């Protein structure tokens, strides 16, 4: 079974700073997907970024980028030029490639961006 | 598109009562997922359907929980009888397809916050 661990329950930074959220996972699969989801106070789950395990290049979406270290089973999210609207819970998630598309989530990191 | 629609947004009930949560997936999506979010267990998949057929219900906690998808545009999650430990936020998500070797983004609804007193 796959597990996803987020070791930072809470983080807080000033607006415009860069922040990195950590995520590690455990799997015996060789091909899979990794995700970061954002959950603002509205509760809506929003996909931030996706990484395919077979791709060596780290995914980037505007101010959001990941550092994917497959051998270390590490998948961190970097938010550059943080904005007040980035305040939210962030969940790291895993999905096995092929077969059932079941998302396995970490426990989440509560990120607060201070003005 | 209206996105995934869930109702009600909030539900407060008393222990022992039957609770029914409803979900309308995005039109054209043929996979539907029910998740539960609690402080203790985080986000966990309860059950998912493909083309209205339940594929994996291994996450359903016990027989008090049941889910149905009578057609492509509607699904229900029922708890009977409800217990205080069922209090959680229940999310429905849908995706375009769930075939092996394909990836399709899961779009989440706004969730239903259930409180069982």
Q: pLDDT digit string (tens) for A46-96? A: 999 999 998 889 999 999 999 999 999 999 999 999 999 999 999 999 998
pLDDT at B2: 80
The DSSP code sequence of B63-103 is TTEEEEEEETTEEEEEESS--GGG-EEEEEEEES---TT--
Contact criterion met (CB < 8 Å) for A43 and B95: no
Q: pLDDT digit string (tens) for B30-79? A: 999 999 999 888 999 999 999 999 998 999 988 999 999 999 999 999 99
Query: Chain A contact for B95, CB < 8 A?
Result: yes
What's the CA angle centered on B96, arms B79 and A65, to 5 degrees? 100
pLDDT at B98 over 60: no
Contact criterion met (CB < 8 Å) for A107 and B42: yes
Q: Within the 53-92 window of chain A, which residues sit less than 8 Å (CB to CB) from chain B?
A: 91
Q: pLDDT digit string (tens) for A1-59? A: 889 999 999 999 999 999 999 999 999 988 899 999 999 998 989 999 999 998 889 99
In the structure encoding, which two tokens stand for residue B11, read together?
Answer: 């539900």
Query: Chain B contact for A28, CB < 8 A?
Result: no
Provide the 8-state DSSP code for A28.
Answer: S
Q: Which helix or strand (DSSP H or E) is residue B11 part of?
A: strand B10-13
Q: Point out which residues pair with A20 in neighbouring strands.
A: A78
What's the whole-number mean pLDDT along residues B76-92?
97
Give CA separation, B27 vs B24, B53, B73, B94, in Å.
Answer: 8, 17, 7, 9
Q: Distance, in angstroms, between A113 CA and closest chain B CA?
A: 22
C-alpha–C-alpha distance, residues B46 and B48, integer Å? 7
Mean residue pLDDT across chain B: 93
The phi, psi pair for B11, rounded to 5°, reads: -140, 125
Q: Point out which residues pair with A98 in neighbouring strands.
A: none
Neighbour count for residue A85 (Cβ, 10 Å): 9
């Amino acid at each position: 079974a796959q597990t996803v661990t987020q070791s930072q329950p809470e983080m807080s930074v000033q607006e415009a700073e860069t922040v990195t959220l950590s995520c590690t996972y455990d799997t015996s699969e060789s091909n899979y997907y990794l995700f970061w989801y954002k959950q603002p106070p509205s509760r809506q789950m929003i996909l931030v970024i996706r990484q395919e395990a077979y791709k060596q290049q780290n995914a980037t979406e505007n101010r959001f980028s990941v550092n994917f270290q497959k051998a270390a089973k590490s998948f961190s999210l970097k938010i550059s030029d943080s904005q007040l609207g980035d305040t939210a819970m962030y969940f790291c998630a895993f999905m096995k490639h092929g077969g059932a598309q079941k998302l396995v989530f970490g426990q989440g990191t509560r990120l607060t961006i201070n003005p | 598109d209206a996105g995934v629609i869930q109702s009600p947004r909030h539900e407060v009930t008393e222990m022992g009562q039957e609770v029914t949560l409803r979900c309308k997936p995005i039109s054209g999506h043929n996979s539907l997922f029910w998740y539960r979010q609690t402080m203790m267990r985080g986000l966990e998949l309860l059950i998912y359907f493909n083309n209205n057929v339940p594929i994996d219900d291994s996450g359903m906690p016990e027989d008090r929980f049941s889910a149905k998808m009578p057609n492509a545009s509607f699904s229900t999650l029922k708890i009977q009888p409800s217990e205080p430990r069922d209090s959680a936020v229940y999310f429905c998500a849908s995706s375009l397809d769930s075939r092996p070797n394909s990836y399709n983004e899961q779009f989440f609804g706004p969730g239903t916050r259930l409180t069982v007193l």
